[in-house]
Chain A
């Protein structure tokens, strides 16, 4: 097994495919330029090398309403990486070491 730095190893989330989650996925794509998106039956997988950030403001802009980060719990199916931060303004997934 090759060792890679935490900055290069991919992290990601699987999100349910739905009308309101489209805004979340678009916000992730906009805020994480290196994101790759893969569609699977009923769900979308977003993967980013090193670190994935979800910003409340970016989601609200696209959704056109208030959105609290807790609401992401309705969208997420699974993730890989480590949840480094989950506060009022952002959710950050990254590896530690």
Chain B
């Protein structure tokens, strides 16, 4: 008698995930686990059972490869079409690309650094679940770096400021803001990195970083950037999940982890939030066609979703919202105006251009910020007169920088737009300056780390930046004529007018 063979049964997602991810793990027998995973004990975090780590995506390597390949295929079809049809000519204005220059110089190199650190986690975390999720994220971040470079390289053929972005990332003053933020995370332990990048950056703040850039691209005719952005963001939902699972896992494993995690949330919220000052000014000032104000984006993506949603959930574990969150809420009314004003005055030393906002633009800002903008509008009215008299304002000296976030000290006290906010700490006889209580608190907790900050202004004065004069430093930065300064009359602006056959300067519309 023969028994009919059973039809091959398809495994469910859950079974496939456990067979292909968890079941491939083994208990080490030749070496003790502490030797195999040497980096997961020195931060004071206690883990009792790594198998409790959840991965809701239940991704296996075959499904990962299949969907990532499909994402790339869709993206590269758009890139080809845009390049072949001279799509760059249908942007709203060449000045829009300032936002993309900032993105390529400031954000793309961080994708590569994220790739490196997640590769490290995919080797060094004890559990197979988080190791596999880290491996996928490591590959994703490499994909992000590559697709962003490919996408924006098309603009490099026609516009200034896109060349030498890696070289600039390591040297230029405003790029030390995102670079030092990520270097701080890379030089932390694996658990702090998970809370810093996986949770605070990917879950808390990623929407504020990416969605405004991508909606801005969509609104300003930049189809390739919108496509790479949404393609990258589709990976981001997995990264957000990794961050959220990480924090829940740490909090559930041991009560002693709670105060450590709370401190990291306090630190990394403020570190990440300070980097988003660059996004704030981009949204309010750099997009010729506006999407939403920084204030609205902050309310939607941070206050409603994170404070109103996530932190209520985390209260269950004894976690409270980040320490300096109230200050960030106050700043939503003015941070973008102050950040853009800083960049405007120093853009002769930057690889992007700036300009006085048009009347229409000023009206829009006043609508969005009825309480605070009238004060800043007076500043722009005055500056416009300077420009008319041939005296466009550039600061010739070098600014003082915050020791922690490295932003020039141009932010004010919340209740007075004319008083610069300045905090200081004396540590072992040296005085350190900070832009805010948030940055001071971070320094005071780790003074030995942050006394080593590579502050671009100090480095220039110490003679480490190629030369003691501005042209020499700009050359050392890798900048070329036309990269920075005023937009009106710049190389990009002149080319744009010529390509569109406009005989005379029409102003920043």
Return chain B residues, CB-CB under 8 Å to A96. 248, 313, 316
Whether the Cβ atoms of A3 and B67 lie closer than 8 Å is: no
Q: How far is the CA of A12 from the CA of B29 in the complex (A)?
A: 45
Whether the Cβ atoms of B219 and A16 lie closer than 8 Å is: no
Whether the Cβ atoms of A97 and B313 lie closer than 8 Å is: yes
Q: How far is the CA of A9 from the CA of B314 in the complex (A)?
A: 13
Whether the Cβ atoms of B214 and A11 lie closer than 8 Å is: no
Return chain B residues, CB-CB under 8 Å to A43. 211, 214-215, 218, 230
In A55-97, the 8 Å CB interface with B consists of 69-71, 73-88, 95-97
Residues A42 and B305 in contact in the complex (CB < 8 Å), given A79-B237, A83-B57, A86-B56: no
Nearest to A70 among chain B residues (CB) is B63
Stretch from B238-246, B387-395, B457-465, B479-487 contacting the other chain? B238-246
Chain B interface residue bracket vs A: 35 or more
Residues A78 and B313 in contact in the complex (CB < 8 Å), given A42-B218, A73-B234, A88-B13: no
Nearest to A94 among chain B residues (CB) is B313
Whether the Cβ atoms of A78 and B214 lie closer than 8 Å is: no
Q: Does any Cβ of A come within 8 Å of B307's Cβ? A: yes
Q: Does any Cβ of A come within 8 Å of B207's Cβ? A: yes
Nearest to A77 among chain B residues (CB) is B233
Name the prevailing secondary structure of the B interface residues: helix
Return chain B residues, CB-CB under 8 Å to A95. 309, 312-313
Interface string of B280-323 (1 = CB under 8 A from A): 00000000000100000000000011111111110110000100
Count chain B CB atoms within 10 A of each CB in A4, A14, A69, A80 and give the residue with the most: A80
Q: Does any Cβ of A come within 8 Å of B93's Cβ? A: no
Return chain B residues, CB-CB under 8 Å to A85. 56
Count chain B CB atoms within 10 A of each CB in A41, A69, A71 and give the residue with the most: A41
Which of A41, A70, A74 is close to B219, meaning CB atoms less than 8 Å apart? A41
Nearest to A13 among chain B residues (CB) is B237
Whether the Cβ atoms of B58 and A1 lie closer than 8 Å is: no
Minimal beta-carbon separation of A13 from chain B (angstroms): 8
Q: How far is the CA of A76 from the CA of B219 in the complex (A)?
A: 19
Whether the Cβ atoms of B234 and A87 lie closer than 8 Å is: no
In B48-86, the 8 Å CB interface with A consists of 56-59, 63, 67, 70-71, 74
Whether the Cβ atoms of A78 and B206 lie closer than 8 Å is: yes
Whether the Cβ atoms of A87 and B313 lie closer than 8 Å is: no
Nearest to A75 among chain B residues (CB) is B234
Chain A contact residue count (CB 8 A cutoff): 36
Nearest to A84 among chain B residues (CB) is B56
Number of A-B contacts (CB under 8 A): 111
Whether the Cβ atoms of A9 and B214 lie closer than 8 Å is: no
Q: How far is the CA of A6 from the CA of B312 in the complex (A)?
A: 8
Which of B206, B211, B238, B306 is close to A73, meaning CB atoms less than 8 Å apart? B238
Q: Does any Cβ of A come within 8 Å of B226's Cβ? A: yes
In A1-50, the 8 Å CB interface with B consists of 1, 3-4, 6, 9-12, 14, 16, 40-43
Whether the Cβ atoms of B321 and A86 lie closer than 8 Å is: no
Count chain A CB atoms within 10 A of each CB in B58, B210, B234, B238 and give the residue with the most: B234
Return chain A residues, CB-CB under 8 Å to B307. 1
Which of A6, A9, A74, A86 is close to B70, meaning CB atoms less than 8 Å apart? A74
Count chain A CB atoms within 10 A of each CB in B57, B238, B309 and give the residue with the most: B309
Interface string of B226-261 (1 = CB under 8 A from A): 100010011011101100100010000000000000
Minimal beta-carbon separation of A5 from chain B (angstroms): 9
Return chain A residues, CB-CB under 8 Å to B230. 16, 42-43, 77
Q: How far is the CA of A3 from the CA of B484 in the complex (A)?
A: 48
Count chain A CB atoms within 10 A of each CB in B59, B210, B312 and give the residue with the most: B312
Nearest to B325 among chain A residues (CB) is A1
Q: Does any Cβ of A come within 8 Å of B12's Cβ? A: yes
Whether the Cβ atoms of A70 and B67 lie closer than 8 Å is: yes
Whether the Cβ atoms of A74 and B67 lie closer than 8 Å is: yes
Return chain B residues, CB-CB under 8 Å to A9. 308-309, 312
Whether the Cβ atoms of A80 and B310 lie closer than 8 Å is: yes
Return chain A residues, CB-CB under 8 Å to B210. 78
Minimal beta-carbon separation of B317 from chain A (angstroms): 8
Q: Does any Cβ of A come within 8 Å of B445's Cβ? A: no
Minimal beta-carbon separation of A26 from chain B (angstroms): 20
Whether the Cβ atoms of B237 and A77 lie closer than 8 Å is: yes
Whether the Cβ atoms of B309 and A40 lie closer than 8 Å is: no
**Which 4 A-B pairs rank lowest in CB-CB distance, beginning with the nearest?**
A97-B316, A42-B218, A41-B218, A83-B56
Beyond A41-B216, A42-B230, A83-B56, 8 additional pairs, beta carbon < 8 A: A3-B315, A4-B308, A14-B233, A71-B67, A74-B71, A74-B74, A78-B206, A78-B233
20 contacts between A and B (CB under 8 A): A1-B311, A3-B315, A4-B308, A9-B308, A10-B308, A14-B207, A14-B211, A42-B214, A43-B230, A70-B13, A73-B57, A73-B237, A74-B74, A78-B236, A80-B305, A82-B313, A83-B56, A86-B58, A87-B14, A97-B316
